[in-house]
Amino acid sequence: MVQVLYADKDILVAVKPAGVESQAAKRFAPDMVSEIRKYLVIHKLCTPGKEPYVGVIHRLDKPVSGVMVYALSKNAAAALSRQVQDRKLEKIYGAVVCGKPEKDVDKFVDYLEKSVDGNESYVVDHGGKCGKRAELSYEALESLEDGGNGILTLLRIRLETGRHHQIRVQFASRGLPLFGDRKYGTGAAAAAGPLALCAMSLSFVHPSTGKPMTFSVPPSGGAFSKFKFFQDA
């Protein structure tokens, strides 16, 4: 199941499919950590007879696909985690929203708070005690009319912070829910297909060599297939 883009003794970069948990899952559902451990054992990239160490550095929501990096040692995990804290791990997403933003290029800054059960997030006033600052910038790449779904817009999004459901909440709060978002969206497009959100590029510094690294995967399927932008790239 795992599509590995790169692996060495310190890190493994893979593409997480939509519908798979990015960390260890409860019950018997598939998850990336378990699949990566299997990959390391099968390809003899770990010590025989010992469960491989797989450190989760960042997360993607279950319905989101895209590029992720995992640490294969505790030292690598600590170094990569510092990059996350210092905002040096750059994440670029592709998304399809219902509607068209007022500006082709813009930046959103909000404060988000989780619901009591932790299953949803919402925008709160700056003065909220539990609100966490959420920042992202975006560029509109292409818009089209999609019959009963109305106008759809393809976006490239640079995530500055990593809050719970951040992209989905910030766009939905402005009347631009993501295509296929059953949690925050409304109307036909909310249930028309899979969530149109993909972590299409990840950049960071290798924890041991210090070499800048970038890995990319083009969004595909679902609402993304309606646009020519990535097909012509």
pLDDT tens sequence across 191-218: 788 999 999 999 999 999 999 999 999 9
Q: Is the pLDDT of residue 91 over 80?
A: yes
Q: Phi/psi class of residue 180: alpha, beta or left (left: φ > 0; alpha: ψ in -120 to 50)?
A: left
Per DSSP bridges, beta strands 212-216 and 197-205 are: antiparallel
CA atoms lying within 13 Å on the CB side of residue 94: 23
Query: Of 210, 209, 228, which Cα lies nearest the Cα of 152?
Result: 228
pLDDT of residue 233: 54
- Is the separation of the CB atoms in 32 and 60 below 8 Å? no
Structure letter (DSSP) for residue 231: H
Catalytic-role residue among 31, 61, 110, 181: 61
CATH code: domain 3-232 is: 3.30.2350.10
Binned at pLDDT 50, 70 and 90, residue 127 comes out as: low
pLDDT of residue 186: 81
Binned at pLDDT 50, 70 and 90, residue 49 comes out as: confident
| Domain positions in the chain | 3-232
Average pLDDT, the chain: 92
Structure letter (DSSP) for residue 72: S
181 is catalytic: no
- Is the separation of the CB atoms in 198 and 67 below 8 Å? no
Residue type, 186: T
